[in-house]
Amino acid sequence: MTTTLFTPLTVGAYELPNRLVMAPLTRMRAPDNIPTELMAHYYVQRASAGLIIAEATQITPLGRGYPNTPGIHNAAQVAAWKHITAEVHAAGGRIFLQLWHVGRISHPDYHNGKLPVAPSAIAPAGDAVTPTGMQPFVVPHALTTHEIASIVEDYRTAATYALMAGFDGVEIHSANGYLLDQFLRDGSNQRTDEYGGSLENRARLLLAVTQAVTQVWGADRVGVRLSPSGTFNDMQDSDPATLFSYVLGQLNGFKLAYVHLVDALEGDIRHGAKVVELAVLRKAYDGVLIICGGYDQQRAELTLTEGLADAVAFGQLYIANPDLVARFKGNAPLNTPDVNTFYGGSEVGYTDYPVWAG
Ligand SMILES: Cc1cc2nc3c(=O)[nH]c(=O)nc-3n(C[C@H](O)[C@H](O)[C@H](O)COP(=O)(O)O)c2cc1C
């Protein structure tokens, strides 16, 4: 029997009714970093997805680098998320939370003038998004080994809060140039201690975080997101194919719910990415693989048929099509996403995309 997007899939502890995943999408609509009722409405609209991965959510105030992104480090945030997860469950959906620490992709304006943190004191090229507009990135503070240990504990605490908030699981965000990705790559990690240099050392923090989070949740409710070909946020590595094959080999040992890979995007290729082929990554990983990045229905079905991935996550298509499952099933036309309303704002471009009349 051919596998399609509508073939159910076991992902860790869960049986997904279909293989469409809503990709994690930062929408910057959480004033004071607290989720809102409007966000509940937005996620409920998308509850027919096999799995929703809720937007990147900071595990600590120090892990924040954009305005109005939600957190999971205080009681008010837990209560607000609890309402959202209950609503999504009432609508028949499943929802994981993406655990986020931005590392150097931040600015002292978020931290009372203190520096953002990173593996090494190397500023990324580009500008930070601050509450008062774009400002150049600063040279971050290189974390001490003691501080690294406390970040692992921040992940553990945030994972516990996510459990209290009623999520079905968590995804560790180790993609797109944020803190854990900064440790993996030799462009941003030039440490000479046990967290830098060899593959083993550069992967040490991600694996320690995975260990801590799976201790809270059980491995069958935890996923990890990686972007092996990514250049976003000034990511560079001398040999990403070897690095990410090693990381996937190590993650095999955890028996996670899934690994979620971001494919090379147009922007990565424009920035001269060393593209790591999906076939190479598939070979390195034994468990459920979710793939994301520029997929439409046809390409998604082909990738499933070829056995290169087990499920496909959609980002922009989920922004614009809350009923993406029904639209794919019915070969319906798709709404076009409006980039002007991706980040911040109101219900416009958020919860007002029309559903297909059928
Ligand atoms: C508005 C927007 C916000 C995003 N926020 C996140 C995020 O919070 N976490 C993350 O891992 N990726 C984030 N991404 C990347 C998407 O999850 C996805 O990998 C990317 O959009 C490529 O998939 P697509 O071509 O289906 O949109 C974001 C992308 C967009 C367009």
Residue 63 per-residue DSSP state? G
Q: Respond yes or no: is residue 178 known to be catalytic.
A: yes
Nearest CA residue ID for atom 12, ligand 1: 24
Ligand 1: does its nearest atom lie under 6 Å from the Cβ of 58? Answer: no
Nearest CA residue ID for atom 1, ligand 1: 342
Q: Determine the pLDDT at residue 120.
A: 98
Q: Which of 20, 22, 25, 229 to mutate to test the pocket of ligand 1 (most atoms within 8 A of CB)?
A: 25
Contact call for residues 287 and 246 (beta carbons, < 8 A): no
pLDDT in tens, 195-216: 999 999 999 999 999 999 999 9
What CA dihedral angle connects 330, 346, 24 and 80, to 10 degrees?
A: -110
Ligand 1: does its nearest atom lie under 6 Å from the Cβ of 294? Answer: yes
Q: Determine the pLDDT at residue 127.
A: 98
Q: Judge whether residue 1 has pLDDT over 80.
A: no
Q: Which of 43, 51, 176 to mutate to test the pocket of ligand 1 (most atoms within 8 A of CB)?
A: 176
Nearest CA residue ID for atom 29, ligand 1: 25
Using CA atoms, how far apart are residues 54 and 169, in angstroms rounded to an integer? 10
In the chain, what percentage of residues exceed pLDDT 90?
Answer: 96
Alpha carbon 310 to chain centroid, angstroms: 17
Q: What is the mean pLDDT of residues 234-258?
A: 98
Contact call for residues 102 and 179 (beta carbons, < 8 A): yes
Using CA atoms, how far apart are residues 114 and 131, in angstroms rounded to an integer? 16
Structure tokens at 137: 């990135």
Using CA atoms, how far apart are residues 73 and 67, in angstroms rounded to an integer? 16
Q: Which atom of ligand 1 is nearest to the CA of 343?
A: 1
Q: Determine the pLDDT at residue 59.
A: 98
Distances (CA, A) of 85 to 20, 63, 297: 19, 23, 27
Ligand 1: does its nearest atom lie under 6 Å from the Cβ of 292? Answer: yes
Q: Which atom of ligand 1 is nearest to the CA of 176?
A: 11
What separation in Å is there between the alpha carbon of 96 and the centre of ligand 1? 15
Ligand 1: does its nearest atom lie under 6 Å from the Cβ of 267? Answer: no
Report the DSSP pairing between strands 141-142 and 117-118: parallel
Using CA atoms, how far apart are residues 205 and 188, in angstroms rounded to an integer? 14
pLDDT in tens, 298-354: 999 999 999 999 999 999 999 999 999 999 999 999 999 999 999 999 999 999 999
Q: Determine the pLDDT at residue 211.
A: 98
Which residue segments constitute the domains of the chain, with CATH numbers given? 9-341 (3.20.20.70)
pLDDT in tens, 123-170: 999 999 999 999 999 999 999 999 999 999 999 999 999 999 999 999
In the chain, what percentage of residues exceed pLDDT 70?
Answer: 100
Using CA atoms, how far apart are residues 295 and 313, in angstroms rounded to an integer? 8
Nearest CA residue ID for atom 22, ligand 1: 293
Q: Which atom of ligand 1 is nearest to the CA of 314?
A: 26
Which residue, 31, 39, 97, is CA-closest to 68? 31
Q: How confident is the model at residue 248 (pLDDT cuts 50, 70, 90)?
A: very high
Q: Which atom of ligand 1 is nearest to the CA of 23?
A: 17
What separation in Å is there between the alpha carbon of 25 and the centre of ligand 1? 5
